[in-house]
Amino acid sequence: MRTFDLVVIGAGPGGYEAALDAAGRYGMRTALVEQRELGGTCLNRGCIPTKTLLHAASVLDGLRHAGEYGVEADAVHLRSDVLQSRKNQVVEQLRGGIAMLLKQKKVQVFQGSGSILDAHTVAVQTGEEVTKLDTERILIATGSVPVRPPIPGITLPGVMSSDQLLDRSEQPFDHLTIIGGGVIGVEFASVYLSMGSRVTILEALPRLISNMDRELSQSLKMLLKKRGADIHTDARVLGLESGSDGRLVCRYLEKEQEQTLETDGVLVCVGRRPCTEGLFGEGFTVEMERGRIVTDADGCTSVPGVYAIGDVTGGIMLAHAATAAGRNAVASMNRVPGPCFAQAVPACIYTEPEIASVGLTLDEAKAQGMDAESRKILTTANGKSVLSGQERGMIKVVYDRESRKILGAQLMCARASDLVSEFTQAMVSGLTVDEMARTIRPHPTFSEAITDAVRL
Ligand code: FAD
Ligand code: NAD
């Protein structure tokens, strides 16, 4: 008999949740190999630290506008060092929770980098020491790392990835330039604008967050501009150079014209790529496609017994998608149907107001030949939105004209990241707009706007 039923490589939200399910639900003898900290990108360099900063930004904004509610809050200012300690404390608390759960479920954790020697052997290197783990199955959950584009000057001091920017405890930059107007770019823009920085976004494509509904992109651009952001789309960065007084000079091309700007810091966030460095020992590999590991819907790779899930498989690079894929893969190893419905993965952007999307946009549904309709409502008449002083928001619901089943939804409003779960649940359960409209939602709440959206 082999020592382990399963060795998981990578302890992000994909890997550690899969390990917990494997050991806790299915009684598999499970090992988890991690070369850095438990929790992966999401906990240590992603979701949790960024949302801790966004929460602080929202507290700051709230205090700045407190006077409108008759609350006097004078001398509001940011202590970056305190915020940095709080962020670290939040991360450590959650990391401790994961360690405790793994111990409870008897998952054996190996600290070191994992390398697959063959379909049944993982070598764990810790310093000079190598431990070989003998296992029935292997689950690769090694996540992703930031893309570093070949821009001249990318290694200059002050040019950072999100990993480095998150570790800064100095006061915010006077002026931050963000290369890439995707999810990371707009969330950091939102944080830094609230913290009083001037922010410039340089995006290569014609619009921000280009994988989202067009109207959401346009509204976000308008809102960020209203908050003072300088946004350049169709802008190609040519190079970065050292300027005077420790500043940086950024040269970029916009509408065929070369432009320059001076800035104090540059955040480069032009996407992430699957992490497979050192993962395969000599003579062993699985099928790959442009850097990502190819799998089927159960997470099986081209090598029997070797599975992969999460960011390393490309596709939707989100924490909850990785967790769901991990749970489904472990279920499949045990010949049990996957517990998670992978066809409706919500995606959220935690700007102010929040953006959330699930399923198809109207354009996507039509492009797939569906007879789809959409209905949009504004949240201007929603009592909770008005009393809490929210920006103008909207909810768009996409449904099949004949069956009236929900095909998707796009939201930009307060608590959009929570509200989107109602539409996700509707898609999982195959509900129609009329079935969603039967639910009585409490008053006054943001969720009442959903009733307005689905009462056709
Ligand atoms: P990861 O979390 O990347 O974990 C992989 C782990 O594997 C890492 O700990 C790594 O050290 C380890 N590893 C790699 N190679 C080896 C090896 N050979 N041996 C041992 N260990 C190895 N997603 C959301 O859903 N919501 C958000 O709000 C959100 N915000 C984000 C903000 C930022 C700034 C970033 C960068 C990402 C954000 N994401 C968010 C994306 C999310 O973090 C990822 O989708 C998620 O972490 C992927 O999980 P994973 O388990 O596949 O991989
Ligand atoms: P992204 O793919 O969302 O956006 C990258 C942007 O950079 C794109 O708009 C792209 O057109 C642009 N770009 C590419 N090359 C460029 C160049 N040379 N100059 C200017 N612009 C350029 O990637 P990201 O923002 O780095 O985020 C990575 C992943 O992390 C996301 O795909 C997402 O899955 C995850 N994430 C999720 C959340 C969330 O769920 N709230 C938050 C942050 C990150």
Per-residue pLDDT 10s for the chain (456 aa) are 899 999 999 999 999 999 999 999 999 999 999 999 999 999 999 999 999 999 999 999 999 999 999 999 888 999 999 999 999 999 999 999 999 999 999 999 999 999 999 999 999 999 999 999 999 999 999 999 999 999 999 999 999 999 999 999 899 999 999 999 999 999 999 999 999 999 999 999 999 999 999 999 999 999 999 999 999 999 999 999 999 889 999 999 998 899 999 999 999 999 999 999 999 999 999 999 999 999 999 999 999 999 999 999 999 999 999 999 999 999 999 999 999 999 999 999 999 999 999 999 999 999 999 999 999 999 999 999 999 999 889 999 999 999 999 999 999 999 999 999 999 999 999 999 999 999 999 999 999 999 999 999
Instruction: Name the residue among 310, 309, 296 with its Cα closest to residue 138.
Output: 309
pLDDT at position 350 is 98
Confirm whether 443 is a catalytic residue.
yes
Please tell me the distance from the alpha carbon of residue 417 to that of residue 437, in angstroms, as a whole number: 20
pLDDT at position 255 is 86
The position carrying tokens 């670290």 is: 88
Cβ proximity of 28 and 132 under 8 Å: no
Residue to mutate (ligand 1; options 142, 145, 186, 351; most atoms within 8 A of CB): 142
Ligand 1 atom having least distance to the Cα of 350: 28
The residue whose C-alpha atom lies closest to atom 8 belonging to ligand 2 is: 182
Q: Is 13 in the pocket of ligand 1 (CB under 6 A)?
A: yes
Token reading at 116? 């697959």
The residue whose C-alpha atom lies closest to atom 52 belonging to ligand 1 is: 310
Half-sphere exposure for 273 (CA within 13 Å, toward CB): 10
**Angle at which helices 183-194 and 214-226 cross, to 10°:** 20
pLDDT at position 268 is 98
Q: Is 166 in the pocket of ligand 2 (CB under 6 A)?
A: no
Of how many residues is the chain composed?
Answer: 456
pLDDT at position 284 is 97
Its pTM stands at 0.97
